[in-house]
Structure 1
Amino acid sequence: MLIQEIIRKKRDNQTLTREEIQFYSQGVTDGSISEGQIAAMCMAIYFNKLNLDERTELTLAMRDSGDNLNWDKYHLNAPILDKHSTGGVGDVVSLMLAPMLATCGGFVPMIAGRGLGHTGGTLDKLESIKGFDIFPSPQKMQELVKQIGCVIVGQTGNLAPADRKIYATRDVTATVESIDLITASILSKKLAEGLTSLVMDVKVGSGAFMPTYELSKQLAQSIAAVATHAGCQTTALLTDMNEVLASSAGNAVEVREAVRYLRNEGTRNPRLHEITLALGAEALVNGKLAATREEARQNLQNVLDNGKAYEIFEKMVIAQGGHTQFDQLPTAAVIKPVFAQSEGYIQAMNTRDIGIAVINLGGGRRIASDEIDHSVGFDEILPIGSKVHPDTPLAMIHAKNEDAWQAAAQAYRAALTIGETQPENRPIVYETLTA
């Protein structure tokens, strides 16, 4: 085969065969296909798109470009489950959901990522826990899943290597937004985990990765269809990201909230709780660990109420080398509230701008080599609909110094719309989509 002929075929909007797609993925992996040819193929796919069979074959070829986890020798005798999110601000769900699903009988080998753009990264949050190892060997990771029920780790060097090369090219060739390529990128890594079932959280709104509801829905449908077509029962939920999901946004501040959530300390953020239960219920039903969503939600609530989910979380942290003195998480030098400047209701929130404000505080990266300040961010965030006046704290800002606090306070106020009328409630989960 000649790669230029395969590129020409997709350029002319023809359907690629399994063999052609596998040839492309293998050439990307072994370096026999150049960066220019990867770019040309990505652009051809961007404009002419892939049908369901092509998307599935590309996903599987990228999955098979590296290691696949095989669970046969571990005799788990229970479903292997995972959840993935397209990313948001204050999206700390993974830290609670992995141990909750494990406590309900599933095995969860969760491979997570770092922050991307304005969105926070699960791995960055976990690294605020002293000693936490996000890169155990694949063998140790599988052993911990069998012993504890869950792990949360980073992508190993030989997991879907074709995806890393293709994504690096997409990032500099204006082809990141292709739904077909996003689908293959996400699922090539997830399917390499050897999953029974996957639940996908696709965000919608001002803090979402996809710019419109329609594109978010297209992505959700594509992921559900391709993963299920590839043999992994998958449900995708469209969830609201028009405001910060948790009551905090940052790294250590979100870990603290997750710990309080699992320990039943204080009042759980209702939006965060609803999305966690909704995602968990789909995972348990798809994994046949519950007959109905109602039964699944009750099981999830039970393992929170009896403290067993927190016990699994603590075991996971210890097994991955982390310290469980969560009161010793990194603490910022300046912690004080930002106040409203007028009376009214919080009517809207530019969630993306709040995510960028976390980065500007030092809680995210502008370039890949940046060091993260795990202590900074926002917490005690008031939700949309809250009544405020000039002495109402809108949020608590955690900053490294007074100048950083002042800049964050200005950015936070600018991200909010305060008006005279209370806004109508929005759905938390907009739609649930299957193949």
Structure 2
Amino acid sequence: MRMVDMIQKKKHGEKLNKDEIDFIVRGYTNGEIPDYQMSAFLMAVCFQGMSKEETSNLTIAFVNSGDQVDLSKIKGIKVDKHSTGGVGDKISLIVIPLVASVGIPVAKMSGRGLGHTGGTIDKLEAIKGFKTELSGEEFITNVNEHKMAIVGQSENLTPADKKTYALRDVTATVDSIPLIASSIMSKKIASGADAIVLDVKVGSGAFMKSVEQAKELAKTMVDIGEALNRKTVAVITNMDQPLGHEVGNANEIREAIEVLSGKGSQDEATVALTIASYMTMLGGAFEDFNTAYSELSEIIKSGKAIEKLKEMIRIQGGDDTVVDNPSKLPNAKYHIEVKATESGYINAINAESIGISAMLLGAGRKTKSDVIDYAAGITINKKIGDKVDIDETLCILHTNLKENKQAELTAKGAFFISETKPEPVKHIYEIIA
């Protein structure tokens, strides 16, 4: 085989078979295929797309390029979830203890934040002592005995995808549905779960800006899951404003505690309960969505869910007293109120701008080597549909940096005020299963 022939075939919209895709992925990972040829191939995919079979074969080629996690020693149906990334997205922190509380094993591998979106591992490390690195034996024991564990992703998980993604990032080939879907699903398949619930974000704070795009991505990922014998459900959720009221690592831990205590914001509770309901259904705890949603809501009201969060923190070495006393979490020195300069209704909030502002305050990374400040973040005081008067606080910036003018301007520019009240926000757009 020659790479130039593979490029030629895809350029003309022809299908590649499994051996040809394996040849491309293996050759590029091993350094036998140069960047310039892989770039040409990726651009051809962007223009011509891939069939269901090609996308599934690309996914499994990525999986086979590195380590695969063996969860066979864990009893029961292992259910995982994945979010395509958003601002204020703390859903994993909520659903892991919630799903574990009904006996469904959750063996979760999560990443760190980069750019305007946060990472679950960074958020958990805001808790003093919390270990995000466990041995394989500790990980499996925790899931068998407590039905939950969360760790950072292995460096050698899907190395072919990592190398390919780095090239896509600098060759304007990121926005291809088959490439995005195979990238996401390869990590989930390699992580060893039996069933997967995908939280596909859409809106100003998400990679997918339109519902149509999100549906196409969701359908493609569900097709991959089914082709590779993984029960898969995708939930398309709104990211046209930050999720909940808190953005930033320690801030989001505080809000996750509120949601699991039954006091969280409605949008966050709705999304978390929907994701958790499908996870528990795939895990075999409930037969239908309405029963699952109702039972999980009762578990939150009963206090069982918040106790399970304490348990998760405790078994991974963290200080579980932060649940009853969130003031123990890192706190910033400076708190800057961003005020409204006109009255009316909040018509829109650019979630990406809020995420960038939080990053500028120290809550996120511009590059992988940046050190984050767990105390930095933003509290959203006004959300879409809320009435606001002149000089009323739109949001509060929390930071340890003395100079924060750019962050303040970016946050202020995220809020759009109009004279008329907008339609109620839809939290869940569609379920793809």
- Between 218-227 and 320-329, the greater mean CA deviation after superposition: 320-329
What are the Cα deviations for residues 211-258 of structure 1, in whole angstroms up to 9, with x where unaligned?
322212211111111112211111111111111111111111011111
How far has the Cα of 1:286 moved from its partner? 2.5
2:178/2:220 contact within 8 Å kept: yes
Quote the residue 2:216 is aligned against. 218
* Structure-to-structure mapping, 1:154-169, within 5 angstroms: 154-169=152-167
| Separation in structure 1 between the aligned mates of residue 37 and residue 103 of structure 2, nearest angstrom | 46
* Structure-to-structure mapping, 1:162-311, within 5 angstroms: 162-264=160-262, 267-311=263-307
Quote the residue 1:146 is aligned against. 144
| Separation in structure 1 between the aligned mates of residue 310 and residue 186 of structure 2, nearest angstrom | 30
User: Secondary structure of 1:347's match?
Assistant: strand
1:253/1:375 contact within 8 Å kept: yes
| Separation in structure 2 between the aligned mates of residue 98 and residue 148 of structure 1, nearest angstrom | 11
Quote the residue 2:418 is aligned against. 419
1:248/1:381 contact within 8 Å kept: no
Structure 1: tracts of 5 or more residues without a match? none
How far has the Cα of 1:317 moved from its partner? 2.0
| Separation in structure 2 between the aligned mates of residue 398 and residue 258 of structure 1, nearest angstrom | 18
Supply the AA of the counterpart residue of 2:411: Y
- Between 43-52 and 409-418, the greater mean CA deviation after superposition: 409-418
Identity of aligned residues (%): 39
What are the Cα deviations for residues 192-215 of structure 1, in whole angstroms up to 9, with x where unaligned?
122221111111111111232221
What are the Cα deviations for residues 164-185 of structure 1, in whole angstroms up to 9, with x where unaligned?
1111111111111111111111
How far has the Cα of 1:129 moved from its partner? 1.7
- Between 89-98 and 141-150, the greater mean CA deviation after superposition: 141-150
1:135/1:156 contact within 8 Å kept: no
How far has the Cα of 1:401 moved from its partner? 4.1
Supply the AA of the counterpart residue of 1:425: P
- Between 285-294 and 46-55, the greater mean CA deviation after superposition: 285-294
| Separation in structure 1 between the aligned mates of residue 249 and residue 72 of structure 2, nearest angstrom | 36
User: Secondary structure of 2:430's match?
Assistant: strand
Runs of 4+ in structure 1 over 4 Å off: none
Supply the AA of the counterpart residue of 1:227: G
* Structure-to-structure mapping, 1:5-404, within 5 angstroms: 5-74=5-74, 76=75, 78-264=76-262, 267-326=263-322, 327-404=327-404
Structure 2: tracts of 5 or more residues without a match? none
2:200/2:236 contact within 8 Å kept: yes
Cα 1:408–1:117, aligned 2, differ >3 Å: closer, same or farther?
Answer: closer
1:333/1:400 contact within 8 Å kept: yes
How far has the Cα of 1:332 moved from its partner? 0.4
User: Secondary structure of 1:10's match?
Assistant: helix
| Separation in structure 1 between the aligned mates of residue 146 and residue 218 of structure 2, nearest angstrom | 31
How far has the Cα of 1:23 moved from its partner? 2.3
| Separation in structure 2 between the aligned mates of residue 69 and residue 302 of structure 1, nearest angstrom | 34
2:114/2:367 contact within 8 Å kept: no
User: Secondary structure of 1:226's match?
Assistant: helix
How far has the Cα of 1:98 moved from its partner? 1.1
| Separation in structure 2 between the aligned mates of residue 25 and residue 407 of structure 1, nearest angstrom | 42
2:63/2:158 contact within 8 Å kept: yes
1:90/1:249 contact within 8 Å kept: yes
How far has the Cα of 1:316 moved from its partner? 2.2
| Separation in structure 2 between the aligned mates of residue 228 and residue 302 of structure 1, nearest angstrom | 32
| Separation in structure 1 between the aligned mates of residue 198 and residue 57 of structure 2, nearest angstrom | 20
How far has the Cα of 1:28 moved from its partner? 3.2
2:71/2:193 contact within 8 Å kept: no
| Separation in structure 2 between the aligned mates of residue 28 and residue 134 of structure 1, nearest angstrom | 31
Supply the AA of the counterpart residue of 1:420: E
How far has the Cα of 1:100 moved from its partner? 0.8
How far has the Cα of 1:123 moved from its partner? 1.8
What value does the CA root-mean-square deviation take over the aligned residues?
1.8
What are the Cα deviations for residues 374-427 of structure 1, in whole angstroms up to 9, with x where unaligned?
1111125321111111343222221224532x5433322221111221111121
User: Secondary structure of 1:202's match?
Assistant: strand
What are the Cα deviations for residues 280-321 of structure 1, in whole angstroms up to 9, with x where unaligned?
112222232211101111221122122222233222223323
